[in-house]
Structure 1
Amino acid sequence: MAQSTSASTPPPIAREFRAAWVASVANIDWPSRPGLTASEQRTELLAILDRAVALKLNAIVLQVRTAADALYDSPYEPWSEYLSGQQGLAPEPAYDPLRFAVKEAHERGIELHAWFNPFRASHPSSKTPDTALTHVTRTGIVSAPRYGRHRWMDPGDPRVRTHSLKVITDVARRYDVDGVHIDDYFYPYREQDKGVEIPFPDSISYAAYVRSGGKLERDDWRRNNVDVFVRDMYRDVRGLHKSSVKVGVSPFGMWRPQNPPPICCFDPYVQLYADSKKWLQNGWVDYFTPQLYWQTDSATRSYATLLKWWTEQNTVHRHMWPGLFTSKAGGPWLKKGEAWGAGEITRQIAITRAQPGATGHVHFSMKSLMDERADSLSHKLMTERYQEPALVPASRWLDSIPPRAPSARLVADTATGGRRLTLTPATGEPVWLWTVQELRDGQWTTRILPGMQRSTAVSRNGRERAPESVWVTAVDRSGNQSTGTRAR
């Protein structure tokens, strides 16, 4: 959608985090099934990234650790069974899916965030015949007891926290990711056996804590274990001095019941030992993505009510980018009567935009955005909510210095007779993105291009009229934008 404004001054470019989770556990999103060839895996991943471009998303949150495994070449954990069907078996021919994903995302101007499950050690969907000999459940390097249908690394075992932090910081150090991201699985959601709740088996680690002089009651100790992990993850990633890597946490969408009234009824503070409000208010995140997986008109878990409450708790002004349950819009994975309809998701985006302090959202999950039908959610997003591209909001507490203004020239295209815009970065930090704004008949249009690009057509041939005015800015990895340059 073109914007009308002064002929001499382009309008400000929208700022909004538009992302989707790409879940690997149980092959929810990618790869579509275990055992695909490396070429088939890459083809599927490219289709996801191309769809993100078509939708004008600006980030993908790719799950790279589902259960103490790796969808990348890890020195610490075995290859995931969701790639090959056998845990520990590398892709053939050999390639690194995360390195490939980062490269291809960046070539499209899309951020790639690496998503980790911090403590799960096995998932009920596992079908691997034998756990890898290098997996934590076989090596004994950490405590990973059975819990119901899962194996779960005990957050009360200091070796567990150290191991998971080592895994996360290794990726942040070795890969050019734009973020590291953990989800809501801290202590497990409670399971039952024949109607009786199964206690989490951490008596040994709690007894060791008490023997060492610890004074906290068991529930408080469990919460403190998670607090320490979240705090140390932020400290360790920030200690790498890579301002391009944001730290994100996506907890259960409520903090506690009655916060605010009439919110109920699950209590993640008690059930999952997750004091998520503390993490936000202590600034242990760069972005916060509460999973607001309820409808707008829910009496006890209203999307709008919870979003407003969370923004009011954001006293240190980190990014607030709620998670949307986009898969509920509709699809063959839903039972009859479960679908919300696409209008609920587009309405939640509008509510988020209208809420001061909320500057983006994340869709769960990407499979719900891959449908190309004219009445699909993807079509509605493209025509109703994502008509214009958006820049990711700047993280100025990580880096507040914008790039220097670039050079931009309009030149003749000797092959087509049209006009091309050449883009030259100033000296200093590399350009992550270019913004190109073109004026035609009093209307501005905006394009956002990858920073590695050095030219783009502004008219396709000699018959097509060139724009009356073209302005260019450079954007860095933290979202800082240079002053504009008018192309001559």
Structure 2
Amino acid sequence: MTPSRLCSSLSAALGLAMLAACARPPAAAPTPHASPDAPPPVMREFRGVWVASVANIDWPSRPGLPADSQRAELVRILDRSAAMKLNAVILQVRPAGDALYASELEPWSEYLTGAQGRAPQPGYDPLEFAVTEAHRRGLELHAWFNPYRARHPSAKTPTAGTHISRTRPELVRTYGTHLWMDPGEDDVRAFSTRVIADVVRRYDVDGVHIDDYFYPYKERDASGATIDFPDSASYARYQRAGGRLGRDDWRRNNVDRFVEGLYAAVKREKPWVQVGISPFGVWRPGYPAQITGFDAYQEIYADARKWLRNGWTDYFTPQLYWQTARTGVSYPVLLGWWAGENVQRRHLWPGNFTSRVGNSSAGNWRTEEIVEQIYITRGQAGATGNVHFSMKVFMQNPDSLVDRLTHEVYREPALPPATTWLGGRAPSRPAVALAGTTVRMQPGPGTPPARWVVQSRHGTRWRTEILPGGAREHVVRPDSLPLRTVAVSGVDRLGNQGEPVVVQVP
């Protein structure tokens, strides 16, 4: 993800602060329910976090760690995510034409092993491990890819012989401090799509994810002049074949074709795997009227509004990386605008720059800013969750960030919203037995659940707990009031919840 490239704006606006305050509900707590024998609805909210591998931002902490240390770090990340009642981890597995998983298409990443092309020692598959351990904790695991970047400035080791810059150098351009696959080359689009589809086919991921890097953000040469992306050869070939689009429109069309084709390719492999996009948070200055600054449509040729309006994604995560009161790029104003553009009613889960909390080099935000943004999201019709950049801040807990989220904003667990347009089928009623406070459950006929919802009534108060689908036994947490009722239901991987089995305590 990239820090804000927007111009400075006016500071706090009283109306926006009032909006944030109005969006804030009381602290969540178990509440009485209208029908004492029927469990209440489960909260629905996507609670995701990005785990970035490029430049070793989040994981692994440094290149070349022993495999046991890599696994231990990843387990700590997943444990912290589960303890915070997050429900999804978005793990970067292809930072720059490389792989943090076993691939026959691309070399092992140097961010993993310290040298591109070198396998982990002793051998293991990090993505397979991440999927298994995430699901064991009831977390979704989404694989995050950069479709075009071929080398990042933080890279230190030579490219491997199997890297695309070596096997197909005609497809890769040097751009400033980067190597970049040319989006204008049909073989680039096909190759990146093939890489992502290969992961969907071989791994039990819940989603695939691309971020805001399409054409590169502009760089300058030594004289300060903006460097144009060097795609004259591919554009000339397009023109010779009869293409009539101007160069800017052609570039946007190249990215459009990739996004549309990727969505179709993933659904051909596994229709239930979700496709997510997290573009720059501003489509164009002036949309809506008060918005100023960077023009992603013009500068990186990303027509993100088109992708959302055409439904080429299952969830859309615009990077709204600014404070609520910064009027030129206001969080609630931009969120409301994107919600209005979501005519296909896809999931809208804005991205938050949570790593700015306590970071003196990035604005030194207070935790209250992130708390308010989550409450604003909850108050915006059509927005049903948030994704936090990035995991490192949750491992550090500046300004009591983790404590506030865990014990206030995310006090109650939540299921991701159901992805109804992808179908799915709610699990059948399970077999449930209750012995004291121990609940035992077995899946009913058909596909087993991805998650269990176990709800317990103590007096008139209901408490909800969400468990991984592999659980077969659970001890209900103690309460000052006696246990009266337990309800158990299964949830499929698309969020469809089955009918509960309700057991009364004699």
TM-score (normalised: structure 1): 0.95
Q: Give 3-state SS (helix, strand or coil) of 1:152's partner.
A: strand
The residue aligned with 2:429 is: 405
Instruction: Give the residue type in structure 1 aligned to 2:194.
Output: K
Instruction: Give the Cα–Cα distance (whole angstroms) in 1 for the partners of residues 70 and 438 of structure 2.
Output: 36
Q: State how 1:451-466 maps to structure 2 within 5 Å.
A: 451-458=469-476
The residue aligned with 1:209 is: 238
Q: State how 1:288-303 maps to structure 2 within 5 Å.
A: 288-303=316-331
- 1:293-352, Cα deviation, whole Å (9 max, x unpaired): 010000200000000000000000000000000001114xx32x7211110000000000
CA drift of 1:2 comes to: 1.5
CA drift of 1:189 comes to: 0.2
CA drift of 1:52 comes to: 0.3
Q: State how 1:69-468 maps to structure 2 within 5 Å.
A: 69-128=98-157, 130-140=158-168, 143-193=171-221, 194-243=223-272, 245-331=273-359, 334-335=360-361, 338-372=363-397, 375-411=399-435, 418-458=436-476, 467-468=483-484
Question: Unmatched 5+ residue regions in structure 2?
Answer: 1-28
- 1:205-245, Cα deviation, whole Å (9 max, x unpaired): 001111111111111000000000000000100111331x1
Instruction: Give the residue type in structure 1 aligned to 2:267.
Output: R
The structure 1 segments of at least 4 consecutive aligned residues displaced by more than 2 Å after TM superposition are: 463-466
Instruction: Give the Cα–Cα distance (whole angstroms) in 1 for the partners of residues 358 and 390 of structure 2.
Output: 12
CA drift of 1:35 comes to: 1.1
Q: Tell me if the contact between 1:234 and 1:285 (Cα under 8 Å) persists in the aligned partners.
A: yes
Higher helix share: 2
Instruction: Give the Cα–Cα distance (whole angstroms) in 1 for the partners of residues 149 and 331 of structure 2.
Output: 28
Instruction: Give the Cα–Cα distance (whole angstroms) in 1 for the partners of residues 195 and 482 of structure 2.
Output: 51
Instruction: Give the residue type in structure 2 aligned to 1:487.
Output: V
Q: Give 3-state SS (helix, strand or coil) of 2:454's partner.
A: strand
Instruction: Give the Cα–Cα distance (whole angstroms) in 2 for the partners of residues 453 and 472 of structure 1.
Output: 12
Instruction: Give the Cα–Cα distance (whole angstroms) in 1 for the partners of residues 492 and 73 of structure 2.
Output: 29
Instruction: Give the Cα–Cα distance (whole angstroms) in 1 for the partners of residues 224 and 103 of structure 2.
Output: 40
Q: Tell me if the contact between 1:422 and 1:454 (Cα under 8 Å) persists in the aligned partners.
A: yes
Q: Tell me if the contact between 1:142 and 1:160 (Cα under 8 Å) persists in the aligned partners.
A: no
Q: Give 3-state SS (helix, strand or coil) of 1:487's partner.
A: strand
CA drift of 1:203 comes to: 0.4
- 1:81-132, Cα deviation, whole Å (9 max, x unpaired): 001110000000000000000000000000000000010000011111x210
Instruction: Give the residue type in structure 1 aligned to 2:434.
Output: L
Instruction: Give the Cα–Cα distance (whole angstroms) in 1 for the partners of residues 170 and 487 of structure 2.
Output: 56
Q: Tell me if the contact between 2:201 and 2:270 (Cα under 8 Å) persists in the aligned partners.
A: no
Quote the sequence identity (%): 56
Query: RCO greater where, 1 or 2, for CA within 8 Å and sep 6 or more?
Result: 2
Instruction: Give the residue type in structure 2 aligned to 1:472.
Output: V
TM-score (normalised: structure 2): 0.92
The residue aligned with 1:415 is: none
CA drift of 1:11 comes to: 1.3
Instruction: Give the Cα–Cα distance (whole angstroms) in 2 for the partners of residues 459 and 105 of structure 1.
Output: 23
Q: Tell me if the contact between 1:419 and 1:466 (Cα under 8 Å) persists in the aligned partners.
A: no
Instruction: Give the residue type in structure 2 aligned to 1:365.
Output: S
**1:379–1:459: structure 2 CA closer, same or farther, 3 Å change rule?**
closer
